[in-house]
Structure 1
């Protein structure tokens, strides 16, 4: 399979949200992306962070405010410092200043993936809010489907969010586009439709299924493959075929 970013509707929506945050004045500039696992959030954010020269970090279950600030410092070419306030100052300066010339630069967005973990410690959210308030750089939180509800319950944080983007997964048009752009064999519409329905809009599983379909076609010397060709073979590596239960 070809390794390339496919601009599905979710990706385009997220791209537009980042562009709006960066080009908005006198309006709050924070965002949240959320959705079920497998809807393509992390892949999209990695692409957008590169596209907009952003800073991407991933929160962990064991993350603390010190480790989150330290990760951002490392991504900016610095190192972890002992004092949190020194790290916040370093981050705000390097997000808005060119390292060599020391001239001001346009704000760079910060992407915090797996941001659900940040809500375990209010200090993490307060530090991210401080960085945003001081630097004016957009902060985008990425999490599971419940993160938007959690943020809405945090009034002083929620009022800063002006982009609420839900990743809903791929529709059949997206699925057809993904198959055309990443597969090295031609997957017929009936097989694309079957795979899309079986994966319930989940682009992660859709790509896993495409990979198996492509390998099957190539191993049989076929340049194209249909639903009839595929038959009832399992689409996922974690999809075992069980026999009937014994009574």
Structure 2
């Protein structure tokens, strides 16, 4: 199976939202909130945008202090193969502001729901001083985090929900990733059984591809799907 990224409806909305805040004047820029359950393609969309169009991308680690977070953010904003900064958190923040004032770029903060609210406040300070857009990517719990501070929530310019992968997207992913032809009725069943989780869909495609190679037919039928469905538990009850 080939590694493949398909253009989902949510991904298109994400690209449009980030394009809007990146192209807006400094005073009209803001935060973008990309949210949804795990496995819905949020990180893939953010990583793809960052790779293709630039910016600074940070994936949050559990338990990061202010200093650790801002050191990592400074490292990514610099965008060079230099050593990890060892400055204090406040000095890192000052340097980030200076760099973004010289060259404004979007900041992608993945798994932002793992941050403490004070780190979101650090991002608000940076945004206020530079106009750099901030893209927060996380699961639904991020709403509870942001609701603690109205002054942050009011700066969210766009909300992009990443919902379950659709049956047509399942079929497209199967064709592009593994050359599998899956009828819409079976694609609908796959989407339902996996609860639209991209990772589970990928795992199912691996089983179906193996079965297709064994049988010599890459058109998925009822028997092939039943065998894949019986191979494991595809969702938690």
**What's the TM-score bracket when you normalise by the shorter of the two chains?**
0.7 to 0.9
CA distance in 1, matches of 2:234, 2:145: 33
Are positions 1:94 and 2:99 aligned together?
yes
| 188, 193, 214: which one aligns with 1:219 | 214
Name the structure 2 match of 1:196: 191
Name the structure 2 match of 1:22: 22
TM-score when normalising by structure 2: 0.87
| Corresponding residue SS for 1:225 | coil
Q: Residues 218, 95 of structure 1: CA spacing in aligned structure 2 closer, same or farther, 3 A cutoff? A: farther
- How do 1:59-208 and structure 2 match up within 5 A? 59-75=60-76, 76=78, 77=80, 78=82, 79-97=84-102, 105=103, 107-119=104-116, 122-208=117-203
Q: Deviations over 1:148-204 (max 9, x none)?
A: 243133111111111111111212222222222222333333432221121122222
The answer to whether the Cα contact below 8 Å between 2:200 and 2:234 also exists between their aligned partners in 1 is: no
Structure 1 segments unaligned to the other structure (5+ residues) = 98-104, 241-247
- Flag as ranges the 4+ runs of structure 1 deviating above 4 A: 235-240
CA distance in 1, matches of 2:207, 2:57: 31
Q: Residues 93, 69 of structure 1: CA spacing in aligned structure 2 closer, same or farther, 3 A cutoff? A: same
Shift of 1:2: 1.9
Shift of 1:82: 2.2
Shift of 1:30: 0.9
Shift of 1:81: 3.1
For these two proteins, the number of residue pairs brought into alignment is 230
Name the structure 1 match of 2:33: 32
| Corresponding residue SS for 1:187 | coil
Greater radius of gyration (CA): 1
TM-score when normalising by structure 1: 0.84
Question: Superposition RMSD on alpha carbons, in Å?
Answer: 2.2
